[in-house]
Chain A
Amino acid sequence: MNRFAELLDRLAYEPSRNNKLRLLTDYFRSTADPERGWALAALTGALSFPHAKPGLIRSLIAERADPVLFELSYDYVGDLSETVALMWPAAPANPSAERPEDELSLTRVIETLATLGKTQLPRQLAQWLDALDETGRWALIKLVTGGLRVGVSARLTKAAVAALADQNAHHGNVPEINAREINAHDIEMIWPGLAPPYRELFAWLEGRADRPTSSDPAPFRPPMLAQALDDADLSGLNATDFKAEWKWDGIRVQAVAGKQDGYPAGALIKRLYSRTGEEISKSFPDLLDSLRLPGAIDGELLIMRGGRIQTFNVLQQRLNRKTVTAKLMAEFPAHLRAYDLLADGDEDLRERPFAERRTRLETFVARLAEPHIDLSPLIDFHRWDELIAARKNPAAWGAGADAAAVEGVMLKRRDALYLPGRPKGPWWKWKRDPFVIDVVLMYAQRGHGKRSSFYSDYTFGVWTRGEQGDELVPVGKAYFGFTDEELSQIDRFVRRNTVERFGPVREVVHEADRGLVVEVAFEGLQRSSRHKSGLAMRFPRISRLRWDKPPAEADRLDRLEAMLRRIEQGHLEGQTA
Chain B
Amino acid sequence: MTRPEDILVPSPSGVCCKLGGFHIDPTRPVERAVITHAHSDHARAGHGAVLATQETLDLMRLRYGENFAGMTQAMAYGESVNLDGTKITLHPAGHVLGSAQVAVEANGLRVVASGDYKNVADPTCAPFELIRCDLFITEATFALPVFHHGDPDAEIGKLLHSLTLFPERAHLVGAYAIGKAQRVIALLREAGYRAPIYLHGAMQAVTDYYVKRGGALGELRLARGAGKTDLAGTITLCPPSALNDLWTRRFPDPLAAFASGWMRVRARARQQGVALPLVISDHADWNGLTATIAATGASEIWVTHGQEDALVHWCAARGLKARPLDIVGYGEEEEESADTAASEANALPLGAGIRDDGGA
Interface residues of chain A, those whose CB is within 8 Å of chain B, are: 12-15, 65-66, 68-69, 72-73, 76-79, 82-83, 86-87, 449-454, 484, 495-496, 498
In the complex, the answer to whether A68 meets B313 with C-beta atoms within 8 Å is: yes
B167 is an interface residue with CB less than 8 A from chain A:
no
Using A82-B266, A86-B146, A87-B146 as known contacts, say yes or no to A72 and B310 having CB atoms under 8 A apart: yes
Bound-complex Cα distance A453 to B268 (A): 8
Question: Whole-angstrom distance from the CB of B286 to the nearest CB of chain A?
Answer: 9
In the complex, the answer to whether A87 meets B268 with C-beta atoms within 8 Å is: no
Bound-complex Cα distance A14 to B274 (A): 8
Minimal Cβ-Cβ distance residue in A for B267: A452
Residue from the set A73, A454, A496 with the largest chain B CB neighbour count within 10 Å: A73
Which residues of B sit under 8 angstroms from A495, Cβ to Cβ?
328
In the complex, the answer to whether A76 meets B265 with C-beta atoms within 8 Å is: yes
In the complex, the answer to whether A69 meets B275 with C-beta atoms within 8 Å is: no
Bound-complex Cα distance A450 to B274 (A): 13
Q: Could you give, for residues 268-310 of chain B, a 1 whenever the CB lies within 8 Å of some chain A CB and a 0 otherwise?
A: 1111011111000000000000000000000000000001011
Bound-complex Cα distance A12 to B276 (A): 11
B64 is an interface residue with CB less than 8 A from chain A:
no
Using A69-B314, A73-B310 as known contacts, say yes or no to A87 and B275 having CB atoms under 8 A apart: no
In the complex, the answer to whether B265 meets A13 with C-beta atoms within 8 Å is: no
What are 9 contact pairs spanning A and B, CB under 8 A? Answer: A12-B270, A13-B277, A66-B317, A68-B310, A82-B146, A86-B146, A86-B264, A87-B145, A452-B268
In the complex, the answer to whether B265 meets A82 with C-beta atoms within 8 Å is: yes
Which residues of B sit under 8 angstroms from A14, Cβ to Cβ?
275
Interface size range on B against A: 20 to 34
Using A69-B314, A72-B144, A86-B146 as known contacts, say yes or no to A78 and B267 having CB atoms under 8 A apart: yes
In the complex, the answer to whether B275 meets A15 with C-beta atoms within 8 Å is: yes
Question: Whole-angstrom distance from the CB of B293 to the nearest CB of chain A?
Answer: 15
In the complex, the answer to whether A72 meets B275 with C-beta atoms within 8 Å is: no
Minimal Cβ-Cβ distance residue in A for B329: A496
Bound-complex Cα distance A73 to B277 (A): 20
B148 is an interface residue with CB less than 8 A from chain A:
yes
Bound-complex Cα distance A540 to B281 (A): 39
Bound-complex Cα distance A453 to B306 (A): 11
Question: Whole-angstrom distance from the CB of B313 to the nearest CB of chain A?
Answer: 5
Which residues of A sit under 8 angstroms from B274, Cβ to Cβ?
13
- Which of A72, A77, A484 lies in contact with B267, CB distance below 8 A? A77
Using A13-B274, A13-B277, A15-B273 as known contacts, say yes or no to A69 and B267 having CB atoms under 8 A apart: no
In the complex, the answer to whether B146 meets A452 with C-beta atoms within 8 Å is: no
- Which of B148, B267, B269, B317 lies in contact with A86, CB distance below 8 A? B148
In the complex, the answer to whether A451 meets B267 with C-beta atoms within 8 Å is: yes
In the complex, the answer to whether A13 meets B270 with C-beta atoms within 8 Å is: yes
Which residues of B sit under 8 angstroms from A77, Cβ to Cβ?
144, 146, 265, 267
Nearest first, the 8 A-B pairs at minimum CB distance are A86-B146, A452-B267, A72-B310, A73-B144, A73-B146, A68-B313, A87-B145, A13-B275
Using A14-B275, A82-B266 as known contacts, say yes or no to A76 and B144 having CB atoms under 8 A apart: yes
Minimal Cβ-Cβ distance residue in B for A9: B266
Which residues of B sit under 8 angstroms from A13, Cβ to Cβ?
266, 269-270, 274-277
In the complex, the answer to whether B265 meets A452 with C-beta atoms within 8 Å is: yes
Which residues of B sit under 8 angstroms from A450, Cβ to Cβ?
267, 270-271
Residue from the set B145, B265, B267, B309 with the largest chain A CB neighbour count within 10 Å: B267
Question: Whole-angstrom distance from the CB of B243 to the nearest CB of chain A?
Answer: 12
Question: Whole-angstrom distance from the CB of B15 to the nearest CB of chain A?
Answer: 19
Using A449-B267, A451-B267, A496-B328 as known contacts, say yes or no to A69 and B145 having CB atoms under 8 A apart: yes
Which residues of B sit under 8 angstroms from A12, Cβ to Cβ?
266, 270
Which residues of B sit under 8 angstroms from A452, Cβ to Cβ?
265, 267-268
In the complex, the answer to whether A453 meets B267 with C-beta atoms within 8 Å is: yes
Question: Whole-angstrom distance from the CB of B336 to the nearest CB of chain A?
Answer: 14
Bound-complex Cα distance A450 to B147 (A): 18
Residue from the set A65, A72, A450, A495 with the largest chain B CB neighbour count within 10 Å: A72
In the complex, the answer to whether A69 meets B144 with C-beta atoms within 8 Å is: yes
Q: Could you give, for residues 124-152 of chain B, a 1 whenever the CB lies within 8 Å of some chain A CB and a 0 otherwise?
A: 00000000000000000000111110000
Minimal Cβ-Cβ distance residue in A for B310: A72
Bound-complex Cα distance A498 to B317 (A): 26
Residue from the set A15, A65, A69 with the largest chain B CB neighbour count within 10 Å: A69
- Which of B148, B266, B310 lies in contact with A69, CB distance below 8 A? B310
Which residues of A sit under 8 angstroms from B270, Cβ to Cβ?
12-13, 450
Q: Could you give, for residues 39-68 of chain B, a 1 whenever the CB lies within 8 Å of some chain A CB and a 0 otherwise?
A: 000000000000000000000000000000
Which residues of B sit under 8 angstroms from A496, Cβ to Cβ?
328
Question: Whole-angstrom distance from the CB of A86 to the nearest CB of chain B?
Answer: 4
Question: Whole-angstrom distance from the CB of B63 to the nearest CB of chain A?
Answer: 22
Bound-complex Cα distance A357 to B310 (A): 61
- Which of B145, B268, B273, B326 lies in contact with A73, CB distance below 8 A? B145
In the complex, the answer to whether A79 meets B309 with C-beta atoms within 8 Å is: no
Minimal Cβ-Cβ distance residue in B for A448: B267
Minimal Cβ-Cβ distance residue in B for A74: B146
Bound-complex Cα distance A76 to B308 (A): 12
Which residues of A sit under 8 angstroms from B273, Cβ to Cβ?
15
Question: Whole-angstrom distance from the CB of B88 to the nearest CB of chain A?
Answer: 30
